[in-house]
């Protein structure tokens, strides 16, 4: 792409004039003006190209501008741009079929939303109506979206300003051996104690008051903590025993991210409801949804489901989902994510960790990895304090700036950087990104001691 800094400056000025940005103090931000994107890269107007190791917000699983998905959207736009959710329409039915074919167990009915938070909202609504119970349990160290119920379920500081005592949400600790809430020494212990803690929480809250337990299959933004093998089957068993609906949030982990279509497959577990968004169509058009078990779907056979959205199952979104899923299947993109994770990213990150005093732990699978950065490998003290901002966050800011100078766009959250490239990433691209990361980590090392 030919650099055009004048155009870039105009784009930025127009943004600053009228665009109000998410999660930001409007006067303190300086958004990069983006000129274009392709595959694993995007670029600005100044001639800088970035390898996208963040997949934007971990959503471009198929990479930027995949020609088959772009063509499907163009074709659908020429046929039928929009139609209300009450009608039957070919692309919506086909998207639902392709998703239901891939979700685990009997999750065969699909309710479409515009994104992840709405999927979580509707899953909770379904669980409350199905059980007639008010409360919902979710984990600390989680993210479920920014609408009312979803932000209350969230277990990170973004919940605090929107917290509502009437939301009926109770938080508990899920397993995370590296920073064990249970002072466990091994995975088996962590798993057993985490399940006991969940049972205790349920007992003290009153099982008859709990509609659902909502968990990310592998927590994403909160740190990519792959649970011990027995944990999710254990939660499934607890839910069955108390008649609690088990909701797995696969908004980030789903559609190839972990090297499987859904992360639940790694643990051989079938939830009652599964939420998805992001990778379902890589965000080319906003789309999310809830995959619903036969039993919960049956609750609404004779009784109306009291929820809906003007754009539920939007044709452009569904056409892009159909093209995305078919292309991922035809091109072996999920298999690529698994192989690159196992053969390139995993080993590469573990090697990097050995060289850098700031890398405390490497964890992940597929194209879903986290580096837990620390001040000291022995004490595991995080490189920056929890929820740090301003000068306290300087070590992470230095690291992120070093990545960008090297042509890599990183995903950074608190004291972690996540390695979340597209599922289509090639070995060459992955190695290019790891090399930049390796160099940029020197900026984090400078704050260890
Ligand atoms: N659930 C999980 C696990 C997520 O990672 C996210 C977004 O990052 C959401 C829900 C919310 O999705 P959205 O931003 O599309 O509303």
In this structure, the answer to whether residues 26 and 121 fall within a common structural domain is no
Q: Which of 326, 146, 173 shows the shortest CA–CA distance to 251? A: 146
In this structure, the answer to whether residues 226 and 80 fall within a common structural domain is yes
Q: Is the CB of 369 under 6 A from ligand 1?
A: no
- From the CA of 150, give the closest atom in ligand 1: 10
- From the CA of 114, give the closest atom in ligand 1: 15
- From the CA of 59, give the closest atom in ligand 1: 8
In this structure, the answer to whether residues 92 and 218 fall within a common structural domain is yes
Nearest-CA residue for ligand 1 atom 10 is 144
Report the complex ipTM.
Answer: 0.99
β-sheet bridge partners, residue 361: 372
User: Rounded to the nearest whole angstrom, what is the distance from the C-alpha of residue 399 to the centroid of ligand 1?
Assistant: 25
Nearest-CA residue for ligand 1 atom 5 is 252
Q: Is the CB of 115 under 6 A from ligand 1?
A: yes
Q: According to the model, what pLDDT value does residue 167 have?
A: 84
In this structure, the answer to whether residues 324 and 355 fall within a common structural domain is no
Other C-beta atoms within 10 Å of 204: how many? 8
Residue 107 CB contacts under 8 Å (≥ 6 apart), including other chains: 100, 270, 271, 273, 274, 291, 292, 293
In this structure, the answer to whether residues 144 and 273 fall within a common structural domain is yes
75: CATH: 3.40.640.10
In this structure, the answer to whether residues 269 and 214 fall within a common structural domain is yes
Nearest-CA residue for ligand 1 atom 1 is 144
366: CATH: 3.90.1150.10
Q: Between the CA of residue 325 and those of 62, 100, 117, 216, 321, what are the distances in Å? A: 9, 12, 21, 22, 6
Q: Is the CB of 143 under 6 A from ligand 1?
A: yes
Q: Is the CB of 253 under 6 A from ligand 1?
A: no
Substitution site in 58, 124, 143 for ligand 1 pocket (most atoms within 8 Å of beta carbon): 143
**Are 207 and 244 in contact, with CB atoms under 8 Å apart?**
yes
Q: According to the model, what pLDDT value does residue 214 have?
A: 98
Cβ contacts of 380-386, under 8 Å, gap ≥ 24: 380/178, 380/179, 382/414, 382/415, 383/358, 383/415, 383/444, 383/447, 383/448, 384/414, 384/415, 386/157, 386/414
In this structure, the answer to whether residues 109 and 210 fall within a common structural domain is yes
In this structure, the answer to whether residues 85 and 12 fall within a common structural domain is no
In this structure, the answer to whether residues 202 and 348 fall within a common structural domain is no
In this structure, the answer to whether residues 94 and 47 fall within a common structural domain is no
Q: Is the CB of 364 under 6 A from ligand 1?
A: no
In this structure, the answer to whether residues 258 and 312 fall within a common structural domain is yes
Which of 330, 346, 378 is where one domain is finished? Answer: 330
Strands 135-139 and 169-172: parallel
User: Rounded to the nearest whole angstrom, what is the distance from the C-alpha of residue 370 to the centroid of ligand 1?
Assistant: 18
Which of 286, 315, 330 is where one domain is finished? Answer: 330
Which of 305, 330, 355 is where one domain is finished? Answer: 330
Q: Is the CB of 153 under 6 A from ligand 1?
A: no
Handedness of CA 61, 67, 70, 72 (dihedral sign): negative
**Are 178 and 161 in contact, with CB atoms under 8 Å apart?**
no
Q: Is the CB of 120 under 6 A from ligand 1?
A: yes
User: Rounded to the nearest whole angstrom, what is the distance from the C-alpha of residue 147 to the centroid of ligand 1?
Assistant: 10
Q: Is the CB of 249 under 6 A from ligand 1?
A: yes
pLDDT block averages, 10 residues each, the chain of length 449: 95 98 96 98 98 98 98 98 98 98 98 98 98 98 96 93 85 98 98 98 98 98 98 98 98 98 98 99 98 98 98 98 98 98 98 98 98 98 96 97 98 98 98 98 96
* Structural domain harbouring 360: 5-65+332-445
Query: Domain tally for the chain?
Result: 2
Q: Is the CB of 252 under 6 A from ligand 1?
A: yes
Q: According to the model, what pLDDT value does residue 405 have?
A: 98
pTM of the predicted protein model = 0.98
In this structure, the answer to whether residues 21 and 155 fall within a common structural domain is no
Distance CA 415, CA 261 (A): 29
- From the CA of 288, give the closest atom in ligand 1: 15
């Amino acid at each position: 792409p030919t650099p055009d800094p004048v155009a870039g400056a105009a784009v930025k000025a127009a943004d600053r004039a009228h665009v109000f940005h998410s999660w930001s103090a409007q006067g303190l931000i300086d958004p990069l003006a983006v000129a274009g994107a392709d595959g694993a890269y995007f670029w600005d107007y100044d001639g800088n190209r970035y390898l996208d190791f963040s997949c934007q917000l971990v959503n471009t699983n198929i990479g930027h501008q995949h020609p088959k998905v772009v063509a499907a959207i163009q074709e659908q736009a020429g046929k039928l741009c929009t139609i209300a959710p009450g009608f039957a329409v070919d692309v919506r039915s086909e998207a639902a079929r392709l998703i239901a074919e891939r979700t685990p167990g009997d999750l065969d009915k699909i309710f479409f939303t515009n994104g992840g938070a709405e999927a979580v909202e509707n899953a909770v609504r379904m669980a409350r109506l199905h059980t007639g119970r008010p409360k919902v349990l979710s984990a600390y160290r989680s993210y479920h979206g920014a609408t009312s119920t979803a932000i209350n379920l969230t277990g990170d500081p973004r919940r605090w300003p929107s917290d509502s005592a009437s939301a009926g949400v109770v938080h508990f600790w899920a397993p995370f051996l590296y920073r064990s809430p249970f002072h466990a020494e091994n995975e088996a212990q962590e798993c057993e104690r985490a399940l006991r803690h969940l049972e205790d929480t349920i007992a003290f809250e009153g099982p008859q008051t709990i509609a659902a337990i909502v968990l990310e299959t592998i927590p994403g933004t909160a740190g990519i903590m792959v649970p011990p093998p027995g944990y999710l089957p254990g939660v499934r068993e607890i839910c069955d025993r108390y008649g609690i609906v088990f909701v797995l949030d696969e908004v980030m982990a789903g559609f190839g991210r972990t090297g499987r279509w859904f992360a639940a497959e790694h643990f051989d577990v079938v939830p009652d409801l599964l939420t998805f968004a992001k990778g379902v169509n890589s965000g080319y058009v906003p789309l999310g949804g809830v995959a619903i078990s036969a039993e919960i779907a049956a609750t609404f056979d004779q009784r109306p489901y009291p929820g809906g959205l003007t754009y539920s199952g939007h044709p452009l979104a569904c056409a892009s989902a159909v093209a995305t899923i078919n292309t991922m299947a035809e091109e072996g993109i999920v298999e690529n994510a698994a192989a690159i994770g196992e053969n390139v990213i995993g080993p590469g990150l573990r090697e990097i960790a050995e060289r850098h005093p700031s890398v405390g732990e490497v964890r992940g699978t597929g194209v879903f990895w986290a580096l837990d950065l620390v001040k000291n490998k022995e004490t595991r003290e995080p490189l920056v304090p929890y929820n740090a901002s301003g000068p306290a966050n300087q070590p992470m800011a230095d690291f992120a700036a070093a990545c960008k100078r090297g042509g890599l766009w990183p995903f950074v959250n608190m004291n972690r950087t996540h390695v979340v490239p597209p599922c289509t990433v090639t070995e060459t691209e992955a190695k290019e990104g790891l090399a930049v990361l390796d160099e940029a980590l020197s900026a984090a090392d400078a704050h260890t001691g």
